[in-house]
């Protein structure tokens, strides 16, 4: 195996570039290095102007998502050697406006997250003096959706979001479903307004790419399908059975 590898990094500086361009760097090809280690090597030794986000370097803070050879990845847990002999192309996540180099804008997601009301909604004003009882089975019903780290890989993979930025998108929908399925929550009806709109769940065409790229094993596609099913039932109940027991 060669002892170096070429990384082509997408560079874009809004103060003087009209379009992003790729710049090549030669970095050591070390067996225990992740893509992020190589980017830090570039930043520290070759070009101090390179901009990218990172923090925990253990796959939990969600900062360092990028396109690696066209696939959305957390760069802190993607081995460099997987791409030998190279070159490797590293670019900002697809479908987001680029701030600079590998840094994207997240405002759209944060707005959508707030819109789906990702907090426990209760009808009673005062919570109990002790914990809500929740069995391990009840926890299991929503647990996988709590594992979302907001890394945005699913948005970068979602072809629907690529075409229609108004689509609420996989992570925000999975988090809405996380609360809907939580035995402590009573807010599903309140969330229906947002989720049932055209750009809510109905935008999803079941491509399933979101679930494939999720680094945490969350299945947003399943959340969306589950929600479509319950929303459809609700719709039938409301409109086709007006005389029924609502």
Give the dihedral sign, CA 17/72/226/125. negative
The answer to whether 212 contacts other proteins (rule: CB under 8 A) is no
Nearer CB in complex with other proteins: 156/160: 156
x/- letters, 110..129, toward other proteins (CB under 8 A):
x--xx--xxxx------xx-
Give φ, ψ of 17 to 5 degrees. Answer: -110, 140
Does residue 231 contact residue 201 with C-beta atoms inside 8 Å? yes
The answer to whether 14 contacts other proteins (rule: CB under 8 A) is yes
Of 143-151, 159-167, 206-214, 222-230, which part binds other proteins (CB under 8 A)? 143-151
Among 8, 10, 59, 196, binds other proteins (CB under 8 A): 59
Nearer CB in complex with other proteins: 160/227: 227
Contacts of 98 (CB under 8 A, 6+ apart): 12, 20, 92, 104, 105
Residue 25 β-bridge partners: 7
Among 149, 153, 154, 214, binds other proteins (CB under 8 A): 149
Nearer CB in complex with other proteins: 152/160: 152
The answer to whether 106 contacts other proteins (rule: CB under 8 A) is yes
What span, in angstroms and rounded, lies between the C-alpha atoms of 148 and 140? 15
The answer to whether 71 contacts other proteins (rule: CB under 8 A) is no
The interface with other proteins within residues 173-192 (CB under 8 A) comprises: 175, 179, 182, 184-185
User: Smallest Cα–Cα separation from 224: which of 246, 244, 205, 243?
Assistant: 205
The answer to whether 47 contacts other proteins (rule: CB under 8 A) is yes
Binding residues for other proteins, rule: CB under 8 A, are 13-15, 32, 43-45, 47-63, 77, 99-101, 103, 105-106, 110, 113-114, 117-120, 127-128, 130-136, 138-139, 142-143, 146-150, 175, 179, 182, 184-185
């Amino acid at each position: 195996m060669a002892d170096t590898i070429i990384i082509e990094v997408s560079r874009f500086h809004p103060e003087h570039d009209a379009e992003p361009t790729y710049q090549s760097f030669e970095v050591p090809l070390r067996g225990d290095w992740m893509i992020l280690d190589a980017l830090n090597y570039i930043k520290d030794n070759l070009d101090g102007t390179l901009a990218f986000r990172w923090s925990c370097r253990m796959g939990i803070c969600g900062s360092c998502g990028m396109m690696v050879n066209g696939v959305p990845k957390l760069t802190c847990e993607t081995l460099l050697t997987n791409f030998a002999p190279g070159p490797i192309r590293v670019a900002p996540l697809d479908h987001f406006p680029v701030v600079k180099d590998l840094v994207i804008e997240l405002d759209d997601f944060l707005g959508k997250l707030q819109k789906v009301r990702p907090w426990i909604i209760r009808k009673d004003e005062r919570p109990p003096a002790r914990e809500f009882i929740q069995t391990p089975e009840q926890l299991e019903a929503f647990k996988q959706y709590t594992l979302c780290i907001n890394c945005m890989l699913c948005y970068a993979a979602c072809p629907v979001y690529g075409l229609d930025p108004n689509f609420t998108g996989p992570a925000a929908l999975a988090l809405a479903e996380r609360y809907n399925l939580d035995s402590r929550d009573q807010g599903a009806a309140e969330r229906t307004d947002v989720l049932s709109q055209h750009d809510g769940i109905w935008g999803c065409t079941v491509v399933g790419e979101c679930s494939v790229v999720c680094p945490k094993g969350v299945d947003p596609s399943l959340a969306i399908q589950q929600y479509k099913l319950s929303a459809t039932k609700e719709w039938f109940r409301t409109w086709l059975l007006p005389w029924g027991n609502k």
